[in-house]
Amino acid sequence: MMNETGNDHYLLTPGPLTTSLATKQAMLRDWGSRDPRFSALTKRIRQRLLTLVDASETHVCIPMQGSGTFAVEAALGTLIPRQGKVLVLVNGAYGRRIVSILQILGRETIVHETTEDTPCDVVRLGAALEADKDISHVAVIHCETTSGLLNPIKKVSDTVKRCGRRLLIDAMSAFGAIPLSAADIQFDAVMASSNKCLEGAPGFGFVIARQTSLVESEGNSHSLALDLYAQWRCFEKNGQWRFTPPTHVVAAFDQALEEYLSQGGLEARAARYRENYGILVGAMETLGFEMYLDPEIQAPIIATFHTPADPNFDFATFYDALAEEGFLIYPGKITSVDTFRIGCIGQLYPAQMNEAVRVITEVLHTMGVSNCHAQER
């Protein structure tokens, strides 16, 4: 059965996520990738993304084909010189992914790791930057989607700025829903993608890069296709993507952005996600589920729950039963404890969250799960 988004289920995931019907319908048209109308559409998207982070005067927006990781790898490989040295703040899988990329790229890397339930350590960061003048860049994840943890991006930025280094932010799962402004966060690059809080379809990422840094980055990249500098030059030269763009996805993103802006932009989106999150977490806690993170450091993007200890609970059975009722949830990614995740982003409103909670309650009842605590009590 189709719902109002033209789909037979809702995605309670961190992306790809449920898109609006109009966003999906925007993909029904075939575009000429070198047609001026498609170039105009690309230009509008690039300009709008810059204004979302108040970066029109200082930065440029460079879309990159592929998933979000492609944009992250392009930004790291292009903006960090080969003799650069990067301090990476890690508290989950996406921080670890940045470390892997840098190792493959052969950039010298220092890892500051905190546990997956602990924000990055800004004091330790400051001390390391003072002590080691060779560190040229710091990389951080804004919302670590592994858990839903929100890192203290303002404090990180202030520390990096005070020490005169450059900051790269993977804001993939936060962009558009958690405030980030070039006016008070000093960054060389912010990376995000089409299929998270801006609610487009998957198919490209984008980098908001400081123009002066980008100008210096010519020749840094190890890669032909992931060369952010070359990609930028091409957009500047003729307004076109360097290689075949995901035309349908770009058109869908233009529609999704239009909806984002007309619905009230970041404030409205953040308020809706917070409301979704409140409904979900309130009901889950009433059922006895325990949150993995302290609410103080939790972003309203995705919630991580401890797996119940009740022997009648089985994640695969729970997942399948919810899917049968039209809700796809997400497995856990925490390395130390058994968890699962439920996303609050995408075309989800209180009505869908209330329905999801009703279905979860019913499924647990059918499974014979009476105790949702993480430990037997």
Ligand X SMILES: *Cc1c(COP(=O)(O)O)cnc(C)c1O
**Footprint of ligand X (CB under 6 A):** 14-15, 67-69, 72, 94, 141, 145, 170, 172-173, 193
For ligand X, the closer CB: 72 or 76: 72
For ligand X, the closer CB: 191 or 280: 191
Q: In what helix (H) or strand (E) does residue 104 lie, and over which residues does it extend?
A: helix 93-105
For ligand X, the closer CB: 94 or 330: 94
> Facing residues of 340 across strands?
305, 331
Tell me how crowded residue 212 is: count the other CB atoms within 10 A of its CB. Answer: 11
Shortest gap between Cβ of 26 and ligand X (angstroms)? 20
Q: How far apart are CA 120 and CA 58, in angstroms?
A: 27
Shortest gap between Cβ of 268 and ligand X (angstroms)? 21
Chain centre to alpha carbon of residue 251 = 20
For ligand X, the closer CB: 140 or 374: 140
Q: Is the dihedral of CA 161, 117, 176, 68 positive or negative?
A: positive
Shortest gap between Cβ of 171 and ligand X (angstroms)? 8
194 within 8 A of 253, measured Cβ to Cβ:
yes
For ligand X, the closer CB: 91 or 145: 145
Q: How far apart are CA 77 and CA 220, in angstroms?
A: 7
| Exposure string for 278-310, b = 16+ CB within 10 A, e = fewer | ebbbebbeebbbebbbeeebbbbbbbbbbbbeb
Shortest gap between Cβ of 310 and ligand X (angstroms)? 30
Shortest gap between Cβ of 217 and ligand X (angstroms)? 21
For ligand X, the closer CB: 174 or 284: 174
For ligand X, the closer CB: 23 or 173: 173
Residue keyed to tokens 């520390």 = 159
Shortest gap between Cβ of 94 and ligand X (angstroms)? 4
> Facing residues of 86 across strands?
109, 137
DSSP 26: G
85: three-class secondary structure by DSSP: strand
Shortest gap between Cβ of 193 and ligand X (angstroms)? 5
